[in-house]
């Protein structure tokens, strides 16, 4: 499980750059897919607006219909009242039948009983000869006499009055001579105007009802059109589709990277590298090269401090080490960081490189790549003349021997003499570092015959098989491998030869000639504070 977890972690690290690119592009496309419908106002947006307008019209027509209904009801009430008044006026005339004396006295008693509904008046009404004979009247009158509750008394008195009025109407059906009744003067009632108002209100109500029905039909039509348009739109929005594609792409890339890692496993942990080559991994580099050649002081736990202390634990004054690997930039970066760690311990340090094609060490320290080691071996310059103090501005005693220019092959006698001179020159330093590639390891062994070999590899990049091959190459031309340096940081981005030349010329106040594009671009860059 731990081995598979390490493989998965490396697979995720391999796709880090792809993830940034894919998520950035996918997120941009998803945002565009979400914003385009808003910017272009698709048909669904237009139909939604039409539906909202139809709903508003329906609400307004409903309010108008309610108001028209209320006005029509009022007009109809006025018309009914007018017709009732007219009928009552016509029913009253001087030739109306006379009431009998019993009916007249009963009517008078009813009027007295209704006036305030006093208990004595109601009881007198109940004792009237025209209605006293009924058993129900006698029972109701007895209940009223003994009642002490005002509500019950009011209810009982109402019952007595109602029975008296019923008896009065019954008596009124039998005409009898009565006192003359004064004629009633009838007033003329104008029903034509009220009927005209009623007809107008009814017409208004009918118009409002038709308008409301039309508005409701428009709402239904708009809803049907919107549903038809939405049914034609895909169920998944463009933004969600793009996000789904982003996630699928990420998963596919992770799966591919994991399969590649399982097929050809790379270094996932220092313990794997140690088991593969049988040498300890003394440095695990997790921070990249600092900006500038020597723009830092080792702080915290410096991984190269451990390696430096392990290399200097023998107690001898003159100490040397050969740093090699399959990546010249990482080899040069390891050599530079190790030199800084030694110089920070107040040791005079010498660091040299052999590769005249890459000159990675000179590009790291931002110094001239020539003349250098090849020129000193050819006899053109002495070792002291090609050495450059690259740490004095930062208070570090570091002397660099660049690779130099490409030279013609020299004789064996001249080469042996130059190597003897180098041994005497190297003895003046307390710590010496030779940075060579695996192909030039024999030349590094010639510069430092007894120096241990440190192999540099990249965590998550160098495969276990390649690491084993590199260890075999290192041990075939030297003593057993001393230790490993695992680079777990971004690969150093070194300037090209043209950019380095332009930077050095600008630093010295001179403008380089020629029309090389990299030189011209380097001239435009701001000068560092060095």
Q: Which residue among 263, 283, 299 closes a domain?
A: 263
Domains in the chain: how many in total?
Answer: 4
Residue 180 lies in a domain: no
Q: Are 499 and 485 in a shared domain?
A: no
pLDDT given for residue 496 in this prediction: 82
pLDDT given for residue 417 in this prediction: 92
Q: Are 276 and 393 in a shared domain?
A: yes
CB 503 within 8 A of CB 315: no
Residue 292 lies in a domain: yes
Q: What is the pTM of this model?
A: 0.55
Q: Are 394 and 353 in a shared domain?
A: yes
Residue 119 lies in a domain: yes
First to last CA, the chain: 50
DSSP state of 266: B
pLDDT digits (tens, 9 = 90+) for 48-102: 888 888 888 888 888 888 888 888 888 877 777 777 776 666 555 444 445 567 7
Residue 78 lies in a domain: yes
How far apart CA 200 and CA 206 sit, in angstroms, is 10
pLDDT given for residue 285 in this prediction: 87
Q: Are 206 and 325 in a shared domain?
A: no
Could you count the other beta carbons within 10 Å of the beta carbon of residue 124? 13
Residue 502 lies in a domain: yes
Q: Are 459 and 434 in a shared domain?
A: yes
Q: Are 445 and 434 in a shared domain?
A: yes
Q: Are 346 and 362 in a shared domain?
A: yes
Q: Are 368 and 473 in a shared domain?
A: yes
Q: Which domain holds residue 285?
A: 270-493
Q: Are 238 and 364 in a shared domain?
A: no
How far apart CA 323 and CA 329 sit, in angstroms, is 12
pLDDT given for residue 139 in this prediction: 81
Q: Which residue among 225, 240, 263 closes a domain?
A: 263
Residue 51 lies in a domain: yes
All residue ranges of the chain with pLDDT < 70 are: 1-27, 29-44, 86-100, 172-190, 232-242, 257, 261, 288-301, 314-318, 393-394, 477-479, 507-530
Q: Are 314 and 338 in a shared domain?
A: yes
Q: Are 489 and 499 in a shared domain?
A: no
Residue 338 lies in a domain: yes
Q: Are 351 and 465 in a shared domain?
A: yes
How far apart CA 391 and CA 386 sit, in angstroms, is 15
| 223 to 47, 52, 57, 235: CA distances (angstroms) | 8, 10, 14, 18
């Amino acid at each position: 499980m731990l081995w598979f977890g390490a493989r998965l972690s490396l697979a995720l690290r391999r796709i880090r750059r792809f993830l940034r690119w894919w998520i950035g592009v996918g997120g941009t496309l998803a945002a565009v897919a979400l914003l385009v419908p808003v910017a272009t106002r698709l048909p669904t947006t237009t139909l939604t607006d039409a539906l909202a307008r139809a709903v508003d019209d329906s609400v307004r027509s409903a309010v108008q219909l309610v108001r028209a209904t209320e006005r029509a009801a009022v007009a109809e009430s006025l018309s009914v009242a007018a017709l009732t008044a007219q009928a009552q006026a016509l029913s009253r005339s001087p030739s109306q039948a006379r009431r009998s004396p019993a009916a007249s006295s009963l009517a008078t008693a009813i009027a007295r009983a209704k006036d305030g509904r006093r208990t004595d008046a109601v009881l007198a009404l109940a004792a009237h000869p025209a209605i006293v004979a009924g058993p129900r009247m006698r029972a109701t009158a007895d209940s009223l006499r003994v009642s002490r509750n005002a509500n019950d008394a009011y209810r009982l008195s109402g019952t007595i009055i109602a029975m008296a009025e019923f008896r009065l109407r019954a008596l009124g059906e039998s005409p009898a001579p009565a006192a003359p009744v004064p004629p009633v003067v009838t007033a003329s009632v104008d029903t034509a105007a009220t009927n005209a108002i009623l007809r107008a209100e009814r017409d208004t109500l009918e118009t409002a009802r038709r308008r409301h029905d039309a508005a409701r039909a428009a709402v239904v039509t708009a809803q049907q059109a919107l549903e038809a348009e939405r049914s034609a739109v895909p169920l998944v929005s463009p933004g969600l589709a793009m996000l789904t594609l982003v996630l699928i792409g990420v998963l596919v890339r992770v799966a591919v990277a994991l399969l590649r890692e399982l097929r050809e496993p790379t270094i996932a942990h220092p313990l794997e590298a140690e088991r593969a080559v049988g040498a300890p991994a003394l440095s695990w580099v997790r921070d990249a090269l600092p900006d500038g050649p020597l723009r830092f002081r080792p702080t915290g736990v410096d991984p190269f401090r451990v390696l430096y202390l392990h290399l200097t634990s023998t107690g001898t004054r003159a100490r040397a080490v050969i740093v090699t690997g399959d990546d010249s930039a990482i080899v040069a970066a390891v050599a530079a960081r190790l030199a800084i760690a030694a110089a920070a311990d107040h040791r005079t340090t010498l660091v040299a490189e052999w590769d005249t094609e890459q000159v990675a060490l000179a590009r790291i320290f931002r110094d001239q790549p020539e003349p250098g080691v090849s020129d000193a071996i050819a006899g053109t310059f002495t070792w002291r003349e090609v050495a450059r103090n690259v740490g004095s501005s930062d208070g570090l005693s570091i002397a660099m021997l660049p690779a130099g220019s490409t030279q013609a092959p020299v004789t064996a006698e001249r080469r042996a003499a130059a190597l003897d001179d180098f041994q005497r020159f190297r003895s003046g330093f307390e710590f010496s570092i030779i940075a060579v590639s695996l192909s030039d390891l024999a030349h590094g062994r010639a510069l430092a015959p007894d120096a241990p070999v440190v192999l540099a590899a990249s965590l998550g990049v160098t495969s276990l098989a390649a690491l084993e091959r590199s260890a075999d190459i290192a041990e075939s031309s030297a003593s057993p491998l001393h230790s490993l340096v695992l680079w777990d940081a971004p690969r150093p981005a070194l300037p090209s030869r043209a950019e380095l030349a332009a930077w050095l010329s600008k630093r010295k106040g001179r403008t380089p000639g020629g029309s090389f594009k990299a030189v011209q671009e380097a001239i435009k860059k701001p000068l560092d504070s060095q």
